[in-house]
């Protein structure tokens, strides 16, 4: 068994287009997207992934039609309620990142319950970003640290490990205000696959591509010195 150490972050894009292409309402794509989340969480430990951070709802997504927002919020709540027991069995710790003050109370309650129930799990950390904006997170950390800010204090206040591999599905190639600080040296992998179609083979292909990359973190290869 490989040592689990990777932090993989995923921008799960393409739900709406996936549904529209089938003549279905966009929310059908989000429902299928929730199944893809289950598949990826299940496959992650076998690929030496220790932390999985999933972009489920950005702070800008509040601008979507209210009915779509309501469906997404319900899906998050249902996911947390239905998956928590399985997560405990499989050693999956759930954590939700982002603002909580704008979430409905019953979702906040489901988040608190899932986080408490899985707090002792240590095989895989699943971080779900809801009402998340990297710029806001950075701004809040900067405001709270003030003049005493230093890199290490800043990182620890943000509370998310550096990302090794960032995957974006759905064919778009942008960061969309996701983990801007934590992705400083992330390898980025864009795939045209729509999120509802993403499966463990796609995740394995992305991780294999990551392992083939030469990560230098600004340094040069030893053999090239001179």
- Listed in sequence order, the residues at least 6 apart from 49 whose beta carbon sits closer than 8 Å to its beta carbon are 4, 6, 7, 8, 124, 207
d(CA 29, CA 61): 16
Q: How many residues does the chain have?
A: 226
Q: Is the separation of the CB atoms in 94 and 87 below 8 Å? A: yes
Site string for ligand FPP, 53-72 (x = CB under 6 A): -x-x----x----------x
61 is catalytic: yes
**Does 111 sit near ligand FPP (CB under 6 A)?**
no
147, two tokens: 């003049």
- Determine if 98 is a binding residue for ligand FPP (CB under 6 A): no
Query: How many whole angstroms from its chain centre is CA 31?
Result: 17
Tokens of 179: 């983990």
Of 73-81, 131-139, 141-149, 157-165: span binding ligand FPP (CB under 6 A): 73-81
Mapped onto helix, strand or coil, the DSSP state of residue 194 is coil
Kindly tell me which residue out of 6, 27, 28, 34 binds ligand FPP, with binding defined by CB under 6 A. Answer: 34
Q: Which of 35, 61, 164, 202 is labelled catalytic? A: 61
The least CB distance from residue 19 to ligand FPP, in Å, is 8
Strand pairing partners for 95? 127
Residues 2-21 that bind ligand FPP (CB under 6 A): 12-17
> Binding ligand FPP by CB under 6 A: which of 128, 134, 166, 183?
128
Sites of contact with ligand FPP (CB under 6 A): 12-17, 30, 33-34, 37, 54, 56, 61, 72, 75-76, 79, 128, 170, 195
């Amino acid at each position: 068994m490989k040592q689990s150490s990777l932090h993989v972050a995923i921008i799960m894009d393409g739900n709406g287009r996936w549904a529209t292409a089938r003549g279905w309402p966009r929310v059908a794509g989000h429902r299928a997207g929730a199944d893809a989340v289950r598949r990826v969480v299940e496959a992650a430990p076998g690929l030496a992934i220790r932390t999985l951070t999933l972009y489920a709802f950005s702070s800008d997504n509040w601008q979507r039609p209210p009915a779509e927002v309501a469906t997404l919020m319900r899906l998050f709540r249902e996911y947390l309620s239905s998956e928590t027991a399985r997560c405990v069995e499989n050693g999956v710790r759930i954590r939700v990142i982002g603002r909580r003050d704008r979430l409905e109370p019953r979702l906040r309650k489901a988040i608190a319950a899932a986080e408490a129930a899985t707090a002792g799990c240590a095989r895989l950390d699943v971080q779900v970003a809801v009402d998340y904006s990297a710029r806001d997170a950075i701004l809040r950390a900067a405001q709270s640290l003030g003049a005493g800010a230093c890199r290490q204090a800043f990182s620890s206040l943000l509370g998310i490990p550096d990302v090794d591999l960032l995957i974006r599905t759905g064919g778009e190639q942008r960061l969309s205000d996701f983990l801007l600080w934590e992705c400083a040296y992330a390898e980025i992998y864009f795939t045209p696959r729509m999120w509802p179609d993403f499966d463990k083979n796609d995740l394995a292909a992305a991780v294999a591509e990551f392992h083939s990359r030469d990560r230098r973190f600004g340094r040069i290869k030893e053999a090239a010195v001179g």
